[in-house]
Amino acid sequence: LAKTTQPISMDSYEGQEVNITCSHNNIATNDYITWYQQFPSQGPRFIIQGYKTKVTNEVASLFIPADRKSSTLSLPRVSLSDTAVYYCLVGDLNSGTYKYIFGTGTRLKVLA
C-alpha cells in the first residue's frame, strides 16, 4: 500500500495558484517528503523536497505542518504546460535503503 494519499485529479485555469495536498499519516521520523511531476511517456521530474515547515524554490513551495502528517504543494500561476501528474512520496526505509511506493498521484489539468 502506498504511504501517501492524494486527490486523484484537479482542474485549474491558467494564472491561478494550485495547491495539492497529500496525506501521510504514518510518516516516520526520518522520512522526507518529496514531490515529483510526470508528463506522459517521461520519467518523473523532481520538484521539491522538505522535512518540516516551508520550503520554496524557483518552481514551487512546500508547506508541512508541525505534525508532518500532511503536506501541500503550491504551484504559483500555473500555465498549460503544468498539466501533468504530481506525485507525493515519502521514503520507506527498508534494510537501510529508502524506496518509494507510488500512489495514484494527482492528475492536474490546466485549462486556458
Partner 1 sequence: GAVVSQHPSRVICKSGTSVKIECRSLDFQATTMFWYRQFPKQSLMLMATSNEGSKATYEQGVEKDKFLINHASLTLSTLTVTSAHPEDSSFYICSASRDRSTDTQYFGPGTRLTVL
Taking the CA atoms of 66, 15, 82 and 8 in sequence, report the sign of the dihedral they define: positive
Residue 65 CB, nearest approach to partner 1 (Å): 20
Residue 17 CB, nearest approach to partner 1 (Å): 25
Closer residue to partner 1, CB minimum distance, 16 or 28: 28
**Residue 91 phi, psi (nearest 5):** -70, 145
Closer residue to partner 1, CB minimum distance, 18 or 105: 105
Q: Which three cell numbers stand for residue 76?
A: 504559483
Residue whose C-alpha cell reads 500555465 in the numeric block = 79
Residue 101 CB, nearest approach to partner 1 (Å): 7
Contact residues: partner 1, CB under 8 A: 31-32, 34, 36, 41-46, 49, 87, 91, 93-105
Q: How many CB atoms lie within 10 A of CB 85?
A: 18
